[in-house]
Structure 1
Amino acid sequence: MNPASEPLVLVSHPLCPYVQRAAIVLMEKGVPFERRDVDLAHKPRWFLELSPLGKTPVLLAGGDAIFESAVICEYLDETLLPPLHPRDALQRARHRAWMEFGSALLNAIAAFYNAPDEAALAARAADIRARFARVEAALGDGPWFAGPELGLVDAVFGPVFRYFDVFDTIGDFGCLEGLPKVCAWRAALAGRPSVREAVGPEYPELLSEFLWGRGSALARRMGAGTPVLAD
């Protein structure tokens, strides 16, 4: 049950992967919520008063504002059923560590799409592939990170994999090559309703426009319309 006396509001941005985490958790909990998008290029005063870092997401729960996606997800998991974290303390700690790994992977993805030249683009793709190889070694039989039950780590990685739905239309970068468990996990998450519905139908177009505007090596490849082949 929602512990707040008022409906939950998720202050969002259409492209923010951290917002998607919170949206996935809310939908897995089966809790109705309002999504309120803000323009991060022109942040309204009311938003800056709620978010000390000026970032999304922010969860409005009654009269309180909670910021930072990991904190929001933990709060939702502590107050709403069903639980998505393991009950065992050691396993919870392990899952929290992999959630942080997912955040670091998002930073690596940002470095990839901001790479200024072809050499940097190839290096960033290799870095992403090495990180996913670590994930491959940690995965079991699936379909989710920890087996048959979806958890908070899955909510973190759903938005990570979504980037590659657009990257794959640009070229083959080899980021997931030779990683069958990671690829199977990606496919399972893509089919999960909460993951699919964490973004709007316009997401691929908006992400493509965002990438095009970076002026990076990836953007130039998009403009050339030629495939990018992995080394």
Structure 2
Amino acid sequence: MQSETLTLASHYLCPYVQRASIVLSEKGVAFERRYIDLAAKPDWFLRISPLGKVPLLAIPQAGRDDAILFESAVICEYLEETQAGAPLHPADPLTRARHRGWMEFGSSVLADLWVYETTKDAEQFEAKCRTLAAKFATLEQELAERPYFAGQHFSMVDAVFAPVFRYFELFETLFESGIFDGLPRVNAWRKALAVRPSVVDAVTEDYPERLMVFLRRHDAYLLARGWRPDR
């Protein structure tokens, strides 16, 4: 993989790819996307991806093969350290460490979401629904005044949670889960992130249709939970 600009090896639905894309956009970095079929990974991708996962960021090197970064957290930290755009981490070391902790919290929410959206089991689904509601209630207590996680400035924590909330833009057209009931700050945060240009541009326009195909392919209980006779 060689290019004159940075290349982000991507998948249409991957939330971790979205993180990297958001940070690249926030930093004002020109980049190309190269989409991978994770069900039939090409040989060139397997040669350069130690874990066989996306995202990868290919960084051009004069006279040499591209340098390859893998894992979204590593990619995002590299961009924060090397690119001149607005800082996405707080300057204060303690606050920065706390932000990194909430980024890990966001990854735990994504792990719960994976089960929530793919399970075929009603009991497991309802348990994850309660888990997610509890985690968002915890976030409600941490949020500053709107619009973003820490107030007026978009941060790396926002880049982590924007793909989380994007799932619910579709899920909540299927049924009312109640997950965000009584959480005004979380709901205001969701709305602010949904219209941020870097967040909008992190996926293709057909993202909702692709996500529906994914749910049907997994015969997800979420679809049965959301079924109504008028659909």
TM-score band, normalised by shorter chain: over 0.9
Contact persistence 1:19–1:56 (CA under 8 A): yes
2-structure distance, mates of 1:208, 1:129: 22
Q: Which residue of 2 aligns with 1:77?
A: 80
1:147 equivalent in alignment to 2:151? yes
CA distance in 1, matches of 2:229, 2:90: 45
TM-score (norm 1): 0.92
Q: Alignment RMSD, CA only?
A: 1.4
- AA partner of residue 204 (structure 2): G
Residue type at the aligned position of 2:52: G
Q: Does the CA contact (< 8 Å) of 1:85 and 1:151 recur in 2?
A: yes
- After superposing on structure 2, the runs of 4+ consecutive aligned residues of structure 1 that deviate more than 4 Å are none
> Structure 1, residues 32-90: CA drift from partner, whole Å, max 9, x if none?
10000010000011111221111100000112000000100000010012221111111
> What does the per-residue CA deviation read over 1:104-150, in whole Å, with 9 as the maximum and x for residues that have no partner?
10011111112323222221111100010111111011211111110
Aligned to 2:180: 176
Give the unaligned 5+ runs of structure 2.
61-65
Q: Distance in 2 between matches of 1:9 and 1:24?
A: 14
Residue 35 of structure 1 aligns to a residue whose secondary structure is strand
- CA distance in 1: counterparts of 2:119 and 2:75, whole angstroms: 31
Kindly indicate whether the alpha-carbon contact (under 8 Å) linking 1:66 and 1:72 is maintained by their aligned counterparts in 2: yes
Per the TM alignment, residue 226 of structure 1 is displaced from its structure 2 partner at its CA by 5.2
User: Normalized against structure 2, the TM-score is what?
Assistant: 0.92
Distance (whole Å) between structure 2 residues aligned to residue 173 and residue 141 of structure 1: 25
Q: Distance in 2 between matches of 1:216 and 1:15?
A: 16
- Find 1:27's aligned residue among 25, 28, 45: 25
Partner amino acid, structure 1, of 2:80:
D
Calculate percent identity across the aligned residue pairs: 54
Partner in structure 2 of residue 163 of structure 1: 167
CA contact 2:136–2:186 (8 Å) conserved in 1: yes
